Amino acid sequence: MDRYIEFILNHYILSLALAVVTYLLIQEAFDAAFKKFGEVSPLLAVAKMNDTDTLVIDVREPHEFIHSHIEHALNMPLGKLAEDLIKIADHKNKPVLIACQSGTRSASAGKVLTKAGFEQVFVITGGMQAWENEKFPVKVTSKNKLKPKPAA
């Protein structure tokens, strides 16, 4: 036991790094075990969209959403998601798919939705990057379509 203490005192940076990495691994394991939302691949997301009355929410910012998004997806940026939940309250018992650029923001949105009482929340793994890599269709909204054209 004395040798362990001596090692820790002589190599405190390594010991601290080991403690931090251990803590992060345990935290990740708890998060994975207790999360209340599921993850689906882009292929399973398409199957879900075809089979049921599924709502697709894109939690990216509007300037990202304009470049490409899943057809019929609602743009509800993550920062304003909690405020906008009233708009989708009628989907609490229906499947909800969440997409972002790479899948990171979707997990946070999944936590927000499950805390708000949504029962069937699914995050698209890999986000829009994975969606586009699978060559699934995307809708592109140009800025010109958002502005009315001047009369000639």
* 40 sits in which H/E element: strand 38-40
Summarised one tens digit per residue, pLDDT across range 59-118 is 999 988 988 899 888 999 998 888 888 888 888 899 999 999 988 899 889 989 988 888
Confidence of residue 14 (pLDDT cuts 50, 70, 90): very high
- pTM attached to this predicted model: 0.70
Element counts in the chain: helices (H) and strands (E): 8, 5
Residue 142 has pLDDT above 80, yes or no: no
For 21, phi and psi rounded to 5 degrees?
Answer: -65, -40
Quickly list DSSP for 57-103: EE-S-HHHHHH-B-TT-EE--GGGHHHHGGGGGGGTTSEEEEE-SSS
> Nearest-CA neighbor of 141 among 50, 63, 37?
63
Share of the chain above pLDDT 70, in %: 91
**The two structure tokens encoding residue 139:** 């809708």
What residues are annotated to the active site?
100
> Nearest-CA neighbor of 125 among 116, 134, 112, 117?
134
With a CB cutoff of 8 Å and minimum separation 6, the contacts of 104 are 127
pLDDT of the residue at 95: 92
